[in-house]
Amino acid sequence: MSVNAKQLISDFKNGLWQENPIFRLVIGMCPTLAVTNTMVNGLAMGLATSFVLISSEIVVSLIKKLIPGDVRIPSYILIIATFVTFVDYFLKAFYPSIAASLSLFVPLIVVNCLILGRQETFASQNPVHRSFADALGMGIGFTWALLLLSAVRELFGMGSMFGLQILGDWYRPMVIMVLPAGAFITLGILIAIMNVIGKNATNDTTCH
Amino acid sequence: MEKNSTKAMIITLATIGIISAILLTFVYQWTIPYIEENQEETRRAAIKEVLPLAEEINQVERESQIFYEGYDNSGNRVGVAYQHSGGGYNGPIELMIGVDLEAEEIIQISILNHQETPGLGARITEEEYKSNFVGKPFGDYVVVKTPPSKTMEVQAVAGATISSSNTTRIVEEAVSMINNAYGGGS
């Protein structure tokens, strides 16, 4: 395998686990805590954020040389906001029920620091193909983390998964899990588990 | 031109802004018919739900408010629907209410839009809560936490007192709006 392809694969894999935005970098917490109360919401938010992340990393990486350094942040925000508005209209037109349940958290993707952070640390310094690999990995990493978080919360909070009742009538839903406090508790426990797994997996390497 | 000059910065931001505006104009024009159709569809379904006996809906304007009058096949008015909104627990709650003006009763309510907590406040959209209002006479309602024993009592969704009582307030307001517009108010 060529060095180039290896590089791309490691860029892609970076976001999945090693620098997972939620469990490792702990960024983009606003949607993470707010919309993971049901799995449908978590998945939709993950995909919407991934789309914005991939599109804006490609554009930023393409025009990075044209942007004066002093206005790079406002430029990134404008580009991100364009794609977010696109997603907002798209969801409202073709997936009205998802748009209704995510409501104001769709426009809020603009200020998700995961997206701005990747423009600043990656897309503005790397070529397009590497930026795309990074965005794809980060997007999938963000999505699976949201999905896991929302699966735990929906299962314990409502006894269902993707809206299908899994646990029977005997189960008394733990209401706190669908409330904001449940998000913090679940996130804390999951990060703890990830840290234990990560420690065992990377025991022989000291760099982190 | 120097890269970090004021001129370069203004040109960069203006260019991005203009390109973005042009692209979004196209996206807007492409999606807006679908968005409007979805809203219209939601409203139609809600009117149908709150005026189940209506075969024909007439949109009328009274006191600068829009009302939907439902008529059956023989041309009798079976009820009036009205869309009203108010604050909920997390954001605005928008609902449609159908009333029978002759009997001075609520026929049914339907929640169009809300941002209440899933599993808690969001259960105002379920039949269990909405059925509270079926056949209720006009007036002021009392929100209770146990199964209602009096006519004017409305049972709250467990764990969602604010969502329930705010919805009840919106219903009360909507009823008095309809009553005023149709010269009732008795």
Residue from B26, B38, B89 to probe the interface with A (highest A Cβ count within 10 Å): B38
| In a domain? residue B21 | no
In eight-state DSSP terms, residue B157 is P
Chain A residue numbers with beta carbons less than 8 Å from the beta carbon of B43 are none
> Most confidently modeled of A15-19, B24-28, B101-105?
B24-28
Give the CA distances from residue A52 to residues A61, A141, A184, B113, in Å, rounded to whole numbers and listed in that order: 14, 14, 25, 26
pLDDT confidence of A34, banded at 50, 70, 90?
confident
pLDDT value of residue B186: 45
Residues 6 or more apart in contact with residue B18 via CB below 8 angstroms: none
| In a domain? residue A206 | no
Distance CA B42, CA B111 (A): 10
Could you tell me which chain B residue has the CA closest to the CA of A40?
A: B118
Task: Tell me how close the Cα of B37 comes to any Cα of chain A, in angstroms.
Answer: 9
**Angle, helix B6-50 to helix A72-94, in steps of 10 degrees:** 20
Is the predicted pLDDT of residue A204 greater than 80, yes or no? no
Is the predicted pLDDT of residue A205 greater than 60, yes or no? no
Chain B residue numbers with beta carbons less than 8 Å from the beta carbon of A89 are 27-28, 31-32, 35
Token pair for B22: 């042009």
**Partner-chain contact B20 A82, CB within 8 Å:** yes
Is the predicted pLDDT of residue A145 greater than 70, yes or no? yes
The answer to whether the beta carbons of residues B70 and B54 sit under 8 Å apart is yes
Give the CA distances from residue A62 to residues A57, A132, B13, in Å, rounded to whole numbers and listed in that order: 8, 11, 16
The residue length of chain B stands at: 186
Chain A residue numbers with beta carbons less than 8 Å from the beta carbon of B34 are 92-94
**Partner-chain contact B4 A70, CB within 8 Å:** yes
**Partner-chain contact B31 A100, CB within 8 Å:** no
pLDDT confidence of A179, banded at 50, 70, 90?
confident
| In a domain? residue B152 | yes
- The interface predicted TM-score (ipTM) is 0.81
Average pLDDT over residues B142-165: 90
Q: Percentage of chain A surpassing pLDDT 90?
A: 65
Distance CA B33, CA A188 (A): 44
Distance CA A5, CA A20 (A): 21
| In a domain? residue B19 | no
Task: Tell me how close the Cα of B162 comes to any Cα of chain A, in angstroms.
Answer: 15
Distance CA B177, CA B82 (A): 9
Residues 10-49 of A with CB under 8 A from B: 37-38, 41
| In a domain? residue A96 | yes
Token pair for A18: 């090693």
Average pLDDT over residues A133-144: 96
Distance CA B138, CA B105 (A): 6
Helix, strand, coil % over all residues of chain B, rounded to 5: 40, 25, 30
pLDDT value of residue A173: 86
pLDDT value of residue B120: 84
| In a domain? residue B59 | yes
| Nearest Cα to Cα of residue B84 among B127, B133, B126, B142 | B133
Helix (H, G, I), strand (E, B) or coil at B81: strand
Domains held by chain B: number: 1
Average pLDDT over residues B107-118: 88
pLDDT confidence of B2, banded at 50, 70, 90?
low
Q: Which helix (H) or strand (E) segment is A151 a member of?
A: helix A128-158
Residues 91-150 of A with CB under 8 A from B: 92-94, 96, 100-101, 103-104
Full DSSP string of B82-127: EEEEEE-SSSEEEEEEEEETTTTEEEEEEEEE--PPTTTGGGGGSH
**Partner-chain contact A103 B119, CB within 8 Å:** no
Is the predicted pLDDT of residue B170 greater than 60, yes or no? yes
Chain B residue numbers with beta carbons less than 8 Å from the beta carbon of A94 are 31, 34
Average pLDDT over residues A76-84: 96
Average pLDDT over residues B134-151: 89
Closest CB to B20 among A78, A94, A101? A78
Residue carrying structure tokens 């209209």: A89
| In a domain? residue A207 | no
The reported pTM is 0.81
Q: Output the CA angle A35-A36-A40, nearest 5 degrees.
A: 90
| In a domain? residue B58 | yes
| Nearest Cα to Cα of residue A106 among A89, A129, A125 | A89
Token pair for B17: 């802004």
| Per-position b or e across B120-148, b if 16+ CB within 10 A of its CB | bbbbbbeeebbebbeebebeebebbeeee
pLDDT confidence of A208, banded at 50, 70, 90?
very low
Domain hosting B116: range is 47-181
Domains held by chain A: number: 1
Give the CA distances from residue B149 to residues A137, A185, B80, B121, in Å, rounded to whole numbers and listed in that order: 58, 39, 28, 23
Dihedral, CA of residue B115, residue B119, residue B121 and residue B126, to nearest 10: 100
Give A39: exposed, middle or buried? Use CB within 10 Å, 0-12, 13-18, 19+: buried
Average pLDDT over residues B154-178: 92
| In a domain? residue A20 | yes
pLDDT value of residue A104: 79
Sign of dihedral through CA atoms B148, B153, B159, B160? positive
Average pLDDT over residues A43-47: 95
pLDDT value of residue B7: 92
Task: Tell me how close the Cα of A95 comes to any Cα of chain B, in angstroms.
Answer: 9
| In a domain? residue A208 | no
Domain hosting A31: range is 3-201
pLDDT confidence of A172, banded at 50, 70, 90?
confident
| In a domain? residue B72 | yes
